[in-house]
Each structure stands twice: as C-alpha cells, then as structure tokens.
Amino acid sequence: MGSGGDAGGRGMSEHAPAISAQPATRARASRRLWLWLAMGAWGFLVAAMIHPAHGMGVPLCPSRFVTGIDCPGCGLTRSVSCAVRGELSSSWGYHPFGTPLTALAAGIAIVAILPARIRDGVARHVWKSRIGISRVGIVCGVMFVAFGVARMLGVVGRNV
C-alpha cells in the first residue's frame, strides 16, 4: 500500500503541497472592493457636482437644524461641492477636510478605471500598508473631531 493513499496506492502523498485558494479568493475580494470603492467614489463626486456649490439655503445637518450648533461635519457637503468645481478657497472656508476628501475620492475613481494590472498593483501596495493606513485614519478621525469641538467652542471660525 502506498503511504497516505487509498488501498490501490493512487492517493496523494502525505508530503504533497496543498493547493491554496487564497490568492484567487483575495483577487476576487480585491476586485469586489474596487468595484464598491469605485461606485462610492463616482457617486460621491457626481452628488457633489449636482449639489449647489454654496448650499441650498437650508441646513442639511440635523444637529445644526435642531440646536443651531455646528457638528464636526457641518459644511463638509458645501466644501466638497466647491472642491469639485475648483473653488478651493471656498472649499477650505466651509470645511478644511472637504478638499482632501474630494482628492481621495477622485484618486479612487481614477484608479478604478485604470487597467486591472495597475489597479491590482495599487491594491497590493495598499494591502501591504494597511497598518499605516489605519493609523492615518485614526489620526484623521481624531483631527476631525478635534476640529469640530474647536469650532463648537469658538476657537475656529463658525461655518457660515
């Protein structure tokens, strides 16, 4: 009898490497992630283009509508709408996070329409840097909240 095989000795050897489906699964997950990121980024940019650059005249923020106090995100919609139109000074005035957020969405949208070889290379690079990216995300989140608190306390100018 063969080692590790069936009665006829035709089975796989105990030392044969197992075939892993992990690379194929990761590639499918990467393609799915890019699809969702692309749809989100393009939807974000199109919505920003449709929205009036300097607002609709009514507050969209429930916090500001009910309490009259700006939340950390107040002005972000107008900021992004100005940024997609190239009005960077107005964008910064409404919210300093709007311009970088728009640049990130535009970058994702552009990468998403590149050939798969390039897109997969970007995905590999991002996957390798995920710990650094998560740290940047945490720092940005803390800065976002700190900006909102500073604005509520009057340290930073009020959103108009």
* 15 or 52, which is more confident: 52
Residue at 85 is within a domain: yes
d(CA 17, CA 7): 21
What global pTM score does this model have? 0.69
8 A C-beta contact, residue 12 and residue 5: yes
Least-confidence region, from 29-33, 47-51, 110-114, 133-137: 29-33
Residue at 3 is within a domain: no
8 A C-beta contact, residue 159 and residue 75: yes
Q: Judge whether residue 160 has pLDDT over 80.
A: no
Q: What percent of the chain has pLDDT over 90?
A: 18
Digit-coded pLDDT (tens) for 98-107 = 999 999 999 8
Q: Which two tokens stand for residue 151?
A: 């604005």
Digit-coded pLDDT (tens) for 35-89 = 888 898 999 899 889 988 887 777 777 877 788 777 888 888 889 999 999 999 9
Residue at 140 is within a domain: yes
* 2 or 138, which is more confident: 138
Residue at 115 is within a domain: yes
Please state the domain count of the chain. 1
Average pLDDT, the chain: 79
d(CA 79, CA 99): 7
Which pLDDT value is given to residue 143? 92
Q: Residue 2 — very low, low, confident or very high, per pLDDT cuts 50/70/90?
A: very low
Residue at 119 is within a domain: yes
Neighbours of 97 (CB within 10 A): 21
d(CA 2, CA 146): 68
Residue at 13 is within a domain: no
Q: Judge whether residue 19 has pLDDT over 60.
A: no
Residue at 159 is within a domain: no
Residue at 19 is within a domain: no
Structural domain harbouring 52: 26-152
